[in-house]
């Protein structure tokens, strides 16, 4: 999701995203993460009266923004849910096999980060919630209260690549025995006390907050399902465009696209995707005005016709 406010909106790599989607005015497109709506607005501006757009977000607040901004547009359908349900939503609209492009813009939005009540940011005091979909599932505080020490350590290591995962997990379990870790400040305090040394140029709680957020929201499971769903609904020649913001997101996207393009040794069967140009990063001009784009990686693949030969 776009790391910018809806009001001062600066969608990440907008030109590259639009080029990757290869928009045609009568096409059907899916924005799997509405977020601040910047990519959706650009898509709608490029579509003619016969175009269609499905806008999805798991965050009820983002869905409300989408409904308010473009819900009255007859070309647009807005759905609340994860992009892992793209197939279900596309089928509801009768668009399977007609989708010309799917955009998945992964990660966080500043709208979420800047709202202290959401609990995503270690820089803002608030309840330790961290749910992207506030209508379901346990909060981060509840997850930390119930998870075993080994599970917490595994999550911090796998999803945060935190070298002090075991020390932090032990500190969390010791603290929660005294009182629940219910706020962002409380978690920051626990992490601070568990760190024997700190990285330069990175807040010491960054990895812990990222890992906990990814676990609470099942982000990698949703991504794996979302990629499969996106491929299943694309028409031949349709584009899959994915913006990721760290290696744990980008790696499965790269592997998925390369696997379905038959790029791995020992790949069998006909490829179903063609890789479209090399992965891209934001240029210097964009970074000068939108520094949060610095970690963005854009990958594009195109759905091949079913009859495409294996050596295409």
Per-residue confidence (pLDDT) for residue 277, from 0 to 100: 85
Per-residue confidence (pLDDT) for residue 292, from 0 to 100: 78
| pLDDT exceeds cutoff 70 at 310 | no
Range with lowest mean pLDDT among 39-48, 178-187, 300-309: 300-309
| pLDDT exceeds cutoff 50 at 308 | no
Tens-place pLDDT, residues 43-93: 999 999 999 999 999 999 999 999 999 999 999 999 999 999 999 999 999
Range with lowest mean pLDDT among 28-32, 243-247, 299-303: 243-247
> What are the two backbone dihedrals, phi and then psi, of residue 34, each rounded to the nearest 5 degrees?
-60, -45
| pLDDT exceeds cutoff 70 at 259 | yes
Q: Where are the beta strands (DSSP E) in the chain?
A: 28-31, 52-57, 76-80, 99-105, 234-244, 273-275, 280-281, 297-303
Say how far apart CA 201 and CA 198 lie, in whole Å: 9
In angstroms and rounded to an integer, the radius of gyration of the C-alpha atoms of the chain is 20
Terminal-residue alpha carbon distance, the chain: 33
Q: Chain-centre distance of CA 60, in angstroms?
A: 15
| pLDDT exceeds cutoff 60 at 8 | no
User: Which domains can be identified in the chain, with CATH numbers?
Assistant: 14-110+219-303 (3.40.50.150), 134-216 (1.10.150.170)
Q: What is the mean pLDDT of residues 286-290?
A: 85
Sole residue written with tokens 């970690």: 295
Range with lowest mean pLDDT among 83-87, 119-123, 159-163, 268-272: 268-272
Q: What is the mean pLDDT of residues 168-191?
A: 97
Range with lowest mean pLDDT among 69-73, 271-275, 303-307: 303-307
Closest alpha carbon to 5 in 241, 292, 246: 292
Range with lowest mean pLDDT among 132-136, 163-167, 260-264: 260-264
Whole-Å CA distances, 243 to 35, 84, 96, 106, 262: 13, 16, 23, 6, 22
């Amino acid at each position: 999701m776009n790391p910018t406010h809806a009001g001062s909106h600066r969608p990440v790599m907008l030109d590259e995203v639009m080029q990757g989607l290869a928009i045609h005015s009568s096409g059907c497109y899916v924005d799997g993460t509405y977020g601040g709506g910047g990519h959706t607005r650009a898509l709608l501006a490029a579509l003619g009266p016969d175009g269609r757009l499905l806008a999805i977000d798991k965050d009820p607040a983002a869905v409300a923004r989408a409904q308010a901004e473009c819900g009255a547009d007859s070309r647009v359908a807005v759905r609340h849910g994860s992009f892992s349900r793209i197939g279900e939503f596309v089928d509801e609209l009768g668009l399977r096999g007609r989708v010309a492009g799917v955009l998945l813009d992964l990660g966080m939005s500043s709208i979420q980060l800047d709202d202290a009540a959401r609990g995503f940011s270690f820089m803002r005091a608030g309840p330790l919630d961290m749910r992207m979909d506030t209508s379901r599932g346990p909060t981060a505080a509840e997850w930390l209260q119930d998870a075993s020490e080994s599970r917490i350590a595994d999550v911090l290591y796998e999803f945060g690549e935190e070298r002090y995962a075991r020390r932090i997990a032990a500190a969390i379990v010791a603290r929660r025995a005294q009182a629940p870790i219910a706020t962002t400040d409380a978690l920051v305090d626990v992490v601070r006390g568990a760190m024997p040394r700190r990285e330069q140029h990175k807040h010491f709680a960054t990895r812990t907050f990222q890992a906990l957020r990814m676990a609470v929201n099942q982000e990698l499971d949703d991504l794996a399902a979302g990629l499969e769903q996106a491929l299943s609904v694309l028409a031949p020649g349709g584009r899959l465009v994915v913006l990721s913001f760290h290696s744990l997101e980008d790696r499965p996207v790269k592997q998925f696209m390369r696997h379905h393009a038959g790029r791995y040794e020992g790949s069998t069967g006909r490829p179903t995707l063609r890789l479209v140009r090399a992965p891209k990063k934001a240029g210097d001009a964009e970074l000068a005005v939108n520094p949060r784009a610095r970690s963005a990686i854009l990958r594009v693949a195109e759905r091949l016709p079913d009859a495409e030969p294996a050596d295409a």
